[in-house]
Amino acid sequence: MAAEDTRRARILLAHVGSRPRVLSFHAHSPPSRVRQILEALGQGISVALVTDAGTPTISDPGADLVRGARAAGFPVATVPGPSAVAAALSISGFPADRYIFLGFAPRKGTERRDFLAAAAERLWTVVIFESAQRLGALLEDLAGVCGGDRGAAVARELTKVHEELHAGTLEELGVYYREHPPRGEITVMLAGATVRPPADHAQEARARARALLEKGASRRDVALALARELKLPRNEAYRLVTTL
């Protein structure tokens, strides 16, 4: 067995009376560990990949191992397990016929700005993972690019004893979690955006944004100016500026 956390895996194995050989396999495992597992497969040994929670390879390690096994000609089968993405969507009340999963939000810099802009502009429900400690900052930043009135929901500790879900606007959720600091594993769902402005309007906005940037204005100030002058939603103005 290849396990993200061997201690947790052994507890589960002991519960069912199984004692296979257990190897650690996680996001920071060296490439040699994949080769070691492939060698075991080559000897006719069946290998199970187990992660701490959720489904392996869904925002968890394992994709490299799956690719390596398939490339070497070994069959790869799945035993469907719980996934926070599907579990959260099922109780969110948001449309889930189409959605986009963005994983964990980058912590800072251009990557974070691009991530927020991408989330803000999606027309489908957006699912994001975040740590409990950084949830407040994420809700605040999303409100900045989407507008505080965008609908959202926060699911916590799904399928566990303290499972809960709170839905409302980004502003309302920000206030709630400032007063009630969360713990555990967090899944955030963001309602899809409204229809984007017509292309000609967007071209006008881009031209105005470039002119302001060339004059030395900050991206934040440019976005605010676009929203004010062209009557654009703040999230659309911010998204447009970050794409230049």
Give the pLDDT of residue 202.
72
Q: Do 167 and 204 lie in a common domain?
A: no
Least confident of 34-38, 108-112, 178-182: 108-112
Continuous segment of H or E residues that includes residue 40: helix 31-42
What pLDDT is attached to residue 198? 55
Q: What is the domain-level CATH number for residue 121? A: 3.30.950.10
Q: Does 79 map to a domain?
A: no
Q: Given this model, what pLDDT does residue 199 score?
A: 54
C-beta atoms surrounding 158 within 10 Å: 24
Pick the last residue of a domain from 41, 71, 101. 71
In a domain, 110, yes or no: yes
| 224 within domain boundaries | yes
Cα gap 214→226, rounded to integer Å: 15
Query: Looking at the 3D structure of the chain, how many domains does it have?
Result: 3
Domain enclosing residue 207, as ranges = 199-242
Q: What is the pLDDT of residue 187?
A: 97
Q: Between residues 238 and 37, which one has the greater pLDDT? A: 37
Domain limit, last residue, from 23, 45, 71:
71
* pLDDT tens digits for range 82-120: 889 999 999 999 999 999 999 999 998 889 988 998 898
The answer to whether residues 217 and 134 belong to one domain is: no
Mean pLDDT of 171-191: 95
What mean pLDDT is predicted for residues 144-153? 92
